[in-house]
């Protein structure tokens, strides 16, 4: 159940990933982890120190990392390869397409530092096309967890989802919405707040912003349903169709380009099965820049206020 | 153990059959690569029929050696050897590159028994071989990993990431054969983008290097024997070969990289190889 939104513990999703790997490593010998020089930055270091014989340092060579991971999967390992999401996806897209996806290799692709909230490193390091690229590939599964615990659980679940999986984490500490006992069900979105006027569908850090927006809108008499769509592929079609039919309007919110991301995936379901008005809260087809994470989220229209505005726009179109 | 363990004479006979398969399936498909498969034929045949520890009746046998064709486009030689070894019927070769065939233009792991990984985009196979070699080291498994690469392919930068990785981790269970035919689609490799000096490059990355005439069976066998004896670092055999080897009008000609022979050219080629299209296609269709 939801705790009071202002009093939530702040934790990093990438730490959830790192701790998930260690727990996996304890119980399954097949788990191997690869990193490309930024081992501690992506928290793969937790695993590297606990299981040095099953950790492979790749150096700064992401293309080789994706394909070495593919080879490891061929001899029965369950490889997780990790670096910043811009590098674990865009940098080696062809390796992912041919060696991993076309072959349906059992490789887990981990992208830390997803989204604009990476902050001061600027546009080069802010992955905002990764969801679109990964979900376009046959056989790939895409997960964007919302907090520490969900990141840990999703990491552990990914080991036992057959074939390629992409999981995206963030850099900054974010409010912890779930706890140790919250189950993670791959492919099933979670209704965090029920409501009948509009459904806000969010992933990653935007789930928290959606809950804040719903709280504010609730006081104004607008009854929002909030859905954490942590699995973007395969998408939870039934949950989206039900939200469209029962609420009649949808707002999607993601820390990603507007083209091709989670919002587009939701729109694909809506136009085919339950056409209702939709508004997109996302990065509007531009690169980011340096700045503090919260400043950037505000500057690029990714805060609860932007979700509130989008809800008001979509309700006029209902 | 290799299940065939052919002698040099048997390997030469097998290589002749493989060349006949290659020409016949390309004529039938009216599409595909001719030059590279023919330059690879001798050393690839020796691997499949003498050195590779594999079980054609059990493609996923867990104790097998792994062989990767990083140059996915040489499917004609790859598929011919798989069929001649018994991974699938010879008659399947006549479906190469056709709709709903299990034999795609470039190899697909999920379609074809014996294909370890899908390939066709260059510069990925050695990395995958490195992953298998590293995973085998983690498991202390004695298997060998082989990877066939092209010379033009070495223009892909990702190859050198893998070469560096194997040298760094002393992957002495890994062996590479470079098909150094010095031809690529646009022409002669030294003119397009020179990869020489190849031996020096590999040595600089801490590999053991052998250079041989890659169309001479005695030299091929001596090189593989040395590869299997050798320990402490990865080994590359730089196989100097002739594109289109075995067919006079194709030898050394870059134009044969990516095109199939016409029926008339195919008949001429098969005549040089001691058969005819009618005879060899009947053999394949009956198998």
Concatenated DSSP letters of A18-73: HHHHHHHHHH-TTEEEEE-S-TTTTTTHHHHHH-GGGEEE--S-HHHHHHHHHHHH
State residue B215's pLDDT score.
Answer: 98
β-strand pairing of A165-168 with A10-12: unpaired
Closest CA to B189 of B59, B66, B55, B36: B36
Closest CA to A99 of A89, A111, A91, A107: A107
Do A73 and A80 touch, CB atoms closer than 8 A?
no
| HEC sequence for A76-143 | CCEEEEEEEHHHHCHHHHHHHHHHHHHCCCCCEEEEECECHHHCCCCHHHCECCHHHHHHCCCCCEEE
The Cα–Cα gap between A81 and B181 comes to 36
State residue A47's pLDDT score.
Answer: 98
Q: Which residues of A touch B110 (CB under 8 A)?
A: 103-104
Closest CA to B152 of B26, B25, B39: B39
Cα four-point dihedral sign A127, A131, A134, A139: positive
**Above 50 in pLDDT, residue B64?**
yes
The percentage of residues in chain B with a pLDDT greater than 90, rounded to a whole number, is 99
Q: Do A67 and B158 touch (CB under 8 A)?
A: yes
Three-class DSSP category at A213: helix
The Cα–Cα gap between B121 and B128 comes to 13
In order of A163, B26, B108, B126, the CA distances from B111 in angstroms are 16, 19, 6, 21
**Above 90 in pLDDT, residue A123?**
yes
The Cα–Cα gap between A49 and A22 comes to 10
Q: Which residues of A touch B109 (CB under 8 A)?
A: 102-104
Residue of B nearest to A55 (CA): B138
Topology given in CATH for the domain delimited by A190-317: Rossmann fold (3.40.50)
Closest CA to B248 of B231, B261, B229: B261
Q: Is B158's Cβ below 8 Å from some Cβ in A? A: yes
**Above 50 in pLDDT, residue A136?**
yes
**Above 50 in pLDDT, residue A1?**
no
CATH class of A10-175: alpha beta
B212-218 average pLDDT score: 98
Residue of B nearest to A97 (CA): B121
Interhelix angle for B263-272 vs B8-29, to 10°?
A: 170
Q: Do A69 and B131 touch (CB under 8 A)?
A: yes
Q: Is A75's Cβ below 8 Å from some Cβ in B? A: yes
Domains in chain B (CATH in brackets) are 8-286 (3.40.50.970)
Domain ranges of chain A: 10-175, 190-317
Three-class DSSP category at B80: helix
B228-242 average pLDDT score: 94
State residue A4's pLDDT score.
Answer: 82
Burial of B231 (0-12, 13-18, 19+ CB in 10 A): exposed
**Above 90 in pLDDT, residue A3?**
no
A95-109 average pLDDT score: 98
Q: Is B108's Cβ below 8 Å from some Cβ in A? A: yes
State residue A173's pLDDT score.
Answer: 94
Residue of B nearest to A92 (CA): B158
State residue B186's pLDDT score.
Answer: 95
**Catalytic member of A4, A15, A53, A62:** A62
Residue of B nearest to A52 (CA): B138
**Residues listed for chain A:** 318
Three-class DSSP category at A252: strand
Q: Do A61 and B62 touch (CB under 8 A)?
A: no
Q: Do A77 and B135 touch (CB under 8 A)?
A: yes
The percentage of residues in chain A with a pLDDT greater than 90, rounded to a whole number, is 98
Q: Is A107's Cβ below 8 Å from some Cβ in B? A: no
In order of A37, A78, B169, B188, the CA distances from A59 in angstroms are 5, 20, 12, 34
Q: Do B131 and A76 touch (CB under 8 A)?
A: no
Q: Do B127 and A95 touch (CB under 8 A)?
A: yes
Do A301 and A279 touch, CB atoms closer than 8 A?
no
The Cα–Cα gap between A95 and A69 comes to 11
**Above 50 in pLDDT, residue A287?**
yes
Q: Is B117's Cβ below 8 Å from some Cβ in A? A: yes
β-strand pairing of A10-12 with A173-175: antiparallel
Q: Is A83's Cβ below 8 Å from some Cβ in B? A: no
Q: Is A61's Cβ below 8 Å from some Cβ in B? A: yes
Tokens of A174: 């974010």
Tally Cβ neighbours within 10 Å of residue A102. Answer: 21
Closest CA to A78 of B260, B278, B138: B138
Contacts of B271 (CB under 8 A, 6+ apart): none
């Amino acid at each position: 159940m939801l705790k009071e939104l202002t009093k939530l513990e702040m934790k990093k999703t990438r730490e959830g990933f790192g701790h998930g790997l260690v727990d996996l490593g304890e119980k399954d010998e097949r788990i191997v982890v690869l990193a490309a020089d930024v081992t501690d930055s992506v928290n793969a270091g937790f695993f590297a120190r606990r299981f040095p014989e099953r950790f492979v340092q790749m150096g700064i060579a992401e293309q080789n990392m994706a394909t070495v991971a593919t080879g490891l999967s061929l001899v029965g390992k369950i490889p997780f390869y990790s670096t910043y999401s811009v590098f674990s996806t865009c940098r080696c897209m062809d390796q992912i397409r041919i060696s991993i996806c076309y072959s349906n290799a059992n490789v887990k692709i981990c992208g830390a530092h997803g989204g604009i909230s990476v902050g001061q490193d600027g546009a080069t390091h802010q992955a905002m096309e990764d969801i679109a690229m990964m979900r376009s590939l046959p056989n790939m599964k895409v997960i964007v967890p919302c907090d520490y615990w969900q990141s840990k659980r999703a990491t552990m679940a990914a080991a036992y989802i057959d074939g390629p999986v992409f999981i995206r984490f963030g850099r900054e500490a974010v409010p912890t919405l779930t706890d140790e006992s919250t189950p993670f069900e791959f492919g099933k979105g979670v209704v965090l707040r029920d409501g009948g006027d509009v459904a806000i569908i969010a992933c990653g850090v935007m789930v928290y912003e959606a809950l804040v927006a719903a709280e504010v809108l609730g006081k104004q008499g607008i009854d929002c349903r909030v859905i954490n769509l942590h699995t973007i592929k395969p998408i939870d079609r039934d949950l989206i169709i039900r939200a469209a039919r029962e609420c009649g309007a949808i707002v999607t919110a993601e820390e990603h380009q507007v083209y091709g991301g989670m919002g587009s995936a939701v729109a694909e379901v809506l136009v085919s099965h339950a056409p209702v008005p939709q508004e997109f809260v996302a990065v509007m087809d531009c690169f980011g820049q340096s700045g503090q994470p919260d400043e950037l989220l505000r500057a690029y229209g990714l805060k609860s206020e932007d979700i509130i505005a989008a809800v008001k726009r979509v309700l006029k179109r209902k | 153990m290799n299940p065939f363990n052919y002698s040099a004479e048997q390997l030469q006979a097998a290589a002749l059959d493989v060349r006949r398969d290659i020409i016949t399936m390309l004529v039938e498909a009216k599409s595909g690569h001719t030059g590279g498969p023919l330059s690879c034929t001798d050393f690839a045949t020796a691997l499949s029929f003498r050195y590779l520890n594999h079980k054609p009746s059990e493609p996923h046998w867990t104790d097998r050696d792994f062989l990767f064709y990083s140059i996915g486009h040489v499917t004609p030689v790859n598929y011919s050897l798989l069929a001649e070894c018994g991974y699938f019927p010879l008659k399947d070769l006549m479906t190469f590159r056709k709709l709903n065939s299990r034999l795609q233009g470039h190899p697909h792991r999920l379609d074809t028994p014996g294909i370890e990984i899908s390939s066709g985009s260059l510069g990925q196979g050695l990395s995958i071989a490195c992953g298998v070699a590293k995973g085998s080291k983690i498991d202390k498994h004695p298997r060998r990993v082989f990877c066939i690469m092209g010379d033009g392919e070495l223009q892909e930068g990702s190859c050198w990431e893998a070469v560096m990785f194997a040298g760094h981790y002393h992957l002495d269970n890994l062996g590479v054969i470079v098909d150094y035919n010095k031809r690529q689609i646009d022409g002669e490799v030294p003119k397009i983008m020179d990869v020489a000096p190849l031996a020096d490059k590999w040595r600089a990355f801490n590999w053991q290097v052998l250079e041989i005439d890659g169309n001479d069976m005695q030299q091929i066998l001596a090189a593989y024997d040395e590869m299997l004896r050798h320990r402490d670092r990865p080994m590359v055999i730089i196989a100097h070969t002739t594109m289109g080897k075995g067919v006079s009008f194709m030898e050394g000609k870059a134009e044969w990289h990516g095109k199939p022979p016409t029926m008339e050219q195919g008949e001429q080629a098969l005549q040089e190889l001691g058969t005819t299209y009618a005879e060899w296609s009947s053999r394949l269709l009956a198998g």
